[in-house]
Structure 1
Amino acid sequence: MAKTFIDLFSGAGGMSCGLEQAGFECVLGIDQDKASLETFKANHHHANIICGDLREIALEDIYEKIGNQTVDLICGGPPCQGFSTIGANDNGDKRNFLFFEFLRIVTALKPDYLIMENVTGLLSRNNEPTLSLILNSFVELGYTIEVRVLAAHHYGVPQARRRTIFLGNRFGVQNLYPEKQFKDSPKDSDNLPAARTVGWAFENLLTCQNTTFNHDIQTAQIPNELERKRIHHIPEGKGIRYQKDELTYLPLELRFNVDWENLREQRFRETKLKRLDRNAVSNTINTSRTTYYHPTENRYLTVREAAAIQSFPPEFIFKGSLTQQWRQIGNAVPPLLAKAIGEGILSLDEQKHQLEKTNSTQDISEIRAKAFTYKEKGPLTDIKEENNDDPEFVQLSLF
């Protein structure tokens, strides 16, 4: 019989999609966004749903939906805006403490396993009190809890996206995180295939049985004429961030009216007119449909193309308005990352009685040192965002 799970803060169901691919069965999804749950229900036909703020959902409501089913795993990503390295990083943000609602459900249902995901900013020094609170809370409930940062492109997702992943089990053994399955680059010497690319996503994850869902080219057109003229001159995989980029790619009449010498660090904060590269992994897909441009066509990505880069299977259908669909995709856990995590948990479940017992407490400094490891530079002691295009991506050798 398949292991069952409940997805809290489920969104459209990226985590649920990956866990089901691994062999789990979703019995319930909970979220307060109606459009996201419409998408969730359209793709998880056997799961029940509850639409609402988890703070206002009684345990009786959950028991009514799951009946007498055993829940083996609870997963979820409590809203994390206050932890984000992109946002204000406000560790007093009330949304951060939705974690206690996650904890309330875990306390009541006592699943054997748990997965909680969040942004990498949660591991910053500024958020150390919150991280300690989370770890200690699970330990007090009897879970062996660990946290690592995983890079999605190591698990078949054609996208450079990092997430903080908490794993917990009630058997007192070390959690099994998935082994790296793909290289960081073709130059890596380890015996692994190269990371999947945007081109791979477009070739394999756009069409299902000769049908392509959520792929309206018209809505991906660029309405601004000046923007259309500019993107016409940008080669695949390139964009404008420095003055040299502008001088290389744009004719005089299409250049930006900026004083490069007086710009902070003499560059744009984020790359403008960023075309994706079919021969490389994508930058992090976010909730804005105007962030990146098609590799060769003078337009934005369609919903389906963005979903493919997130590793959603082509039969996964998105509901709601265009803006709602993009928000669902940008906020989702990439399914192939979730699948790898789920496979690790199932492997642990098969071995749990043979594995050696372990200390369930991790030192915060040890967590931070192991979570981020620069190539040839040794472990980090704090988070540093260095990517030219995406503040959530760092060129790291990760777990």
Structure 2
Amino acid sequence: MNNLKTRDTSTTNIWDKSVKVEENGYYWKDKPIISDSINLDPDKPIVVELFCGCGGTSLGFEMAGFQIALGCDIHKPSIETFKNNHPNAATILGDIKNVNPETIKELLGNREIDILIGGVPCQGFSLNNRKRHENDERNSLYKEFVRFVRILQPKAVLLENVSGMKSTGDYVTVIEKELSLAGNMNVKSKMLFAADYGVPQSRKRIVFVGIKDIEVFDFNKIVKTHGPETDNQYVTVREAIGDLPSLEPNKIATKYETNPTCDYQKLMREGVKSNELINHKAPNHPKEIVDKIKNTAPGEPMYPKFKQRIRLAWDIQSPTQVSGGIRPQFQFGHPSDDRGLSIRERCRLQSFPDSFIVSGGIVQGRVQTGNAVPPLLAKAIALAIKNYL
């Protein structure tokens, strides 16, 4: 089945900003589908996530002691992953523009939402997007988040996006103002560096936080766990994925072959049953791609025109992991194997534990892992917000 919409592939148009961006064929455009199997603990604060993707932010909030009541997204494999990893939460599969906030109220039995979170689609702001421009229609999707804040009136809000938003028009100021008015709270933003919170990736994200009855959220309450201001060095690629079995292209490993060698690897293996390893399959590269990786030194770009597509080196942090587009391309080469990364390795670089299972195959798995907020970053933010609530 061809899951890609018809596109203009001519070299004269591929980076033309006037050409409409190609959409993922797994976006659900029909009437929203609601899964309402929800089971809430009366003693835990409630989180609802819009634009939830596979659920990285939700997982981080769970780590901090919150409970996830609902996730909503347009990408079908992401909702499958979200539901499988948050079995007590309801889900809505569909375009957010077609979802009525009153539906969420009904699903929750009118129980008050402690925090509404969301990571609006960021490709229009991304510095890795060569068609990046201020008027990309995806840049206005934050207004849908504002609409839900206005109606649901949560106690707190968290909105996340890429660092490129700060250099794209006056979006940051506008979003702060509109969220503040909608939620009757003072919303402010700050750029955070994921590696400061134990994520093995030099990933920057801007976060907007507002809490009712609080003059302003103190971003200094988000406690850094790694880096020069702490006793812990940044987590490296070796610490992130060095214990995972070596693979040849198109091969799969279903068991660990070595014991963890560092605290990060031990953390990632927590909750895994029977030594079972999931999502660790290598991409099936043609010979020219294998040769391309083989002939690239670790830490260097594999393609002259795409500097962000490097062969990883063991003793660095991974560059920002992106979604990988909707074709079977890959972003990073493995440091010692002549192949791209498995979905499990991509999860590790994002701080998803090995117990978190990604649905949808390698290509859609890249989309999900690249779009996700690193759970350890989300956990740090959640702990700071929890102190206020």
Smaller-chain TM-score bracket? 0.7 to 0.9
SS where residue 154 of structure 1 aligns? helix
**2:92 alignment counterpart:** 50
Identity across aligned pairs (percent)?
Answer: 35
SS where residue 310 of structure 2 aligns? coil
**2:50 alignment counterpart:** 8
Of the candidates 302, 313, 318, which is equivalent to residue 277 of structure 1? 313
Q: Give distance in 2, aligned partners of 1:81 and 1:274.
A: 20
Correspondence 1:228 to 2:268: no
Contact (CA 8 Å) 2:190, 2:206: kept in 1 or not? yes
1:205-224 → structure 2 map (5 Å cutoff)? 205=268, 208-209=272-273, 210-217=275-282, 220-223=283-286
Q: CA deviation at 1:270?
A: 2.6
Q: Give distance in 2, aligned partners of 1:206 and 1:273.
A: 28
Q: Give distance in 2, aligned partners of 1:85 and 1:271.
A: 12
Correspondence 1:132 to 2:168: no
1:319-338 deviations in Å (ceiling 9; x for gaps): 11321111000000011100
1:3-57 deviations in Å (ceiling 9; x for gaps): 1110000010011011111111110101111111000000001100011111111
1:347-366 → structure 2 map (5 Å cutoff)? 347-349=387-389
**2:67 alignment counterpart:** 25
Correspondence 1:180 to 2:224: yes
**2:160 alignment counterpart:** 117
Q: Give distance in 2, aligned partners of 1:3 and 1:342.
A: 11
Q: CA deviation at 1:297?
A: 0.9
Name the aligned partner's letter for residue 338 of structure 2: N
1:141-220 → structure 2 map (5 Å cutoff)? 141=182, 142-177=184-219, 178-183=222-227, 188=228, 190-202=229-241, 203=243, 204=265, 205=268, 208-209=272-273, 210-217=275-282, 220=283
Q: CA deviation at 1:230?
A: 4.0
In structure 1, runs of 5+ residues without a counterpart are: 242-267, 350-399
Of the candidates 82, 100, 103, which is equivalent to residue 40 of structure 1? 82
Name the aligned partner's letter for residue 35 of structure 1: P
CA gap 1:32/1:272 in 2 versus in 1, 3 angstroms:
closer
Name the aligned partner's letter for residue 198 of structure 1: V
1:129-173 deviations in Å (ceiling 9; x for gaps): x33321211222321111111111010000111111001111133
1:201-242 deviations in Å (ceiling 9; x for gaps): 22413682311111113xx2431x23323433444334457x
1:302-317 → structure 2 map (5 Å cutoff)? 302-317=342-357
CA gap 1:238/1:79 in 2 versus in 1, 3 angstroms:
closer
CA gap 1:83/1:193 in 2 versus in 1, 3 angstroms:
same
1:238-282 deviations in Å (ceiling 9; x for gaps): 4457xxxxxxxxxxxxxxxxxxxxxxxxxx333387321222211
CA gap 1:47/1:300 in 2 versus in 1, 3 angstroms:
same
CA gap 1:171/1:97 in 2 versus in 1, 3 angstroms:
same
Q: Give distance in 2, aligned partners of 1:5 and 1:314.
A: 23
Contact (CA 8 Å) 1:234, 1:273: kept in 2 or not? no
Name the aligned partner's letter for residue 145 of structure 2: F
**1:388 alignment counterpart:** none
Contact (CA 8 Å) 2:159, 2:209: kept in 1 or not? yes
CA gap 1:37/1:270 in 2 versus in 1, 3 angstroms:
same
Q: Give distance in 1, aligned partners of 2:330 and 2:122.
A: 23
Contact (CA 8 Å) 1:176, 1:348: kept in 2 or not? no
SS where residue 132 of structure 2 aligns? coil
Contact (CA 8 Å) 2:279, 2:343: kept in 1 or not? yes
Larger Rg: 1
Of the candidates 340, 343, 346, which is equivalent to residue 386 of structure 2? 346
SS where residue 144 of structure 1 aligns? coil
Q: Give distance in 2, aligned partners of 1:272 and 1:20.
A: 32
Q: Give distance in 2, aligned partners of 1:85 and 1:333.
A: 17
Contact (CA 8 Å) 2:101, 2:152: kept in 1 or not? no
Of the candidates 366, 369, 374, which is equivalent to residue 334 of structure 1? 374
Q: Give distance in 2, aligned partners of 1:343 and 1:315.
A: 22
CA gap 1:191/1:19 in 2 versus in 1, 3 angstroms:
closer
**1:72 alignment counterpart:** 114
Whichever structure has more helix as a proportion of its residues is 1
Q: Give distance in 1, aligned partners of 2:123 and 2:288.
A: 33
1:68-94 deviations in Å (ceiling 9; x for gaps): 322100000122333222333332233
Contact (CA 8 Å) 2:162, 2:206: kept in 1 or not? yes
Q: CA RMSD in A?
A: 1.9
Contact (CA 8 Å) 2:237, 2:318: kept in 1 or not? yes
Q: CA deviation at 1:346?
A: 1.0
Correspondence 1:322 to 2:362: yes
